[in-house]
Amino acid sequence: MKKLFLTGAIAFFGLASAQKNTLLVGGNIAYSSTKNTDALNNSGTTNRFEFSPTVGYQFADHWTAGVNASFGTNKISDAYKVNTDKIGGFVRYAQPFNDTFAIYGDLGIGYQGQKATQTILNQDFVSKANGMYVQFTPALFINFKNSFGLNFNIGGIGYNNLNDKNSDAKTSTFDFSFGKSINIGISKNFGLRK
C-alpha cells in the first residue's frame, strides 16, 4: 500500500519554476487506506482519495497565475462517506537558485463544498456545506532536464470555513502543517508559441 501511495504521489504533475510565456498543466493525486481494530475486535477501514488538477500561465519570469481544483472522497467502511470539492485561483512566485534548483510559494483562494452521507439501518442521512479556503504553500523544485523535474513541499498554512446548508452549524479551521506531511510531484513546463 505504501508503494501505491508513493507511486500515486509522484505519478501526477505539479507546477514548476516560472519562465515567461509558458503554460503549466499539472496536479496531484493522493490515496491512503487505514484499517482500525478496537478493543472488542471490531474492525473498520478508512479509504481516502484526492485528485487536484491545476493550470497556470507564467506571465512574467518569476510569476504564475492560474486556477486549480480538488476532488476528494473519504470513506469510513460502508457507514460514512464525505465527498469534497474545491475550485479557486492561485498566484505563484518562483526564485531559481541555478539551473537545477528553485523555490516557490503558492498563495491560493477559492470555494469549497462538502457532502457527507451517513448510513444508519440502510437509510442515508445527507448533510451539505460550503465555504471558502485560503492557503500558502512553499516548495522546492528540482529540474532534471528541459524543465522536467520533481516538486517537494512539507506542508503550509491554511484557513478553511464551511457553513452547513441545513442548519446554523459553522466550522472554521486554521492549519499550520509544516513538517506534518511530505508531498512529491512531477512537473513539466510547456512553452507557448508567440
The per-type count for the chain, helices as H runs and strands as E runs, is 1, 11
Going by C-alpha positions, the residue among 149, 132, 137 that lies closest to residue 26 is 149
- Euclidean distance between CA atoms 185 and 164, whole angstroms: 33
- φ, ψ of residue 147 to 5 degrees: the values are 60, 25
Per-residue pLDDT of the chain (194 residues; tens, 9 = 90+): 444 333 333 333 333 344 677 887 777 778 888 887 776 677 778 888 988 888 889 888 889 999 999 999 999 877 889 999 999 999 999 998 888 899 999 999 999 999 999 888 888 889 999 999 999 999 888 888 777 777 788 889 999 999 998 888 899 999 888 877 777 776 767 766 55
Angle, CA of 190, 192 and 194, to the nearest 5°: 160
- Euclidean distance between CA atoms 118 and 191, whole angstroms: 47
Q: What pLDDT, on the 0 to 100 scale, is given for residue 192?
A: 63
Q: What pLDDT, on the 0 to 100 scale, is given for residue 130?
A: 95
List, in sequence order, the alpha helices (H) in 144-194: none
- Euclidean distance between CA atoms 131 and 155, whole angstroms: 22
Enclosing H/E stretch for 3:
helix 2-11
- Residue 117 is given by DSSP the state E
Q: What pLDDT, on the 0 to 100 scale, is given for residue 51?
A: 87
How many CB atoms within 10 Å of residue 180?
Answer: 10
Q: What pLDDT, on the 0 to 100 scale, is given for residue 194?
A: 52
The pTM assigned to this predicted structure is 0.75
- Euclidean distance between CA atoms 69 and 24, whole angstroms: 14
94 and 104 in contact (C-beta within 8 Å)? yes
